[in-house]
Amino acid sequence: MARKHTWATLALASILALPLAACKDTKTLQENEQLKAQVAELQKENGQLGNDLETTTASRDELTKENEKLKAEIKTLKGKKSPHRKHRHS
């Protein structure tokens, strides 16, 4: 008799636990969907940031080349000393 009672209690506990498990599964599925959406959004943002980084790097490289060119031009111009005019005092 005790065995039947144990099995009955176990069966009743299992039956009562099923709705809770189903509810928990539904909540978990909803959380998973939200997380998937967040991951997709973050991947999109990451891709955009990667593109922005490439653009910025290219711009920086271009400016660095232009800067070096201008520095060389300044050195060249400084090397050619223009004759200084002497001011005459009258």
- Asked which of 18-27, 40-49, 58-67 is least confident by mean pLDDT, the reply is 18-27
Model-level pTM? 0.51
- What are 45's two structure tokens? 């943002």
Render pLDDT for 29-38 as a digit per residue (tens, 0 to 9).
999 999 999 9
At residue 11 the predicted structure's pLDDT band, cuts being 50, 70 and 90, is: confident
DSSP reduced 3-state for 61: helix
Instruction: Name the phi and psi angles at 40, rounded to 5.
Output: -60, -40
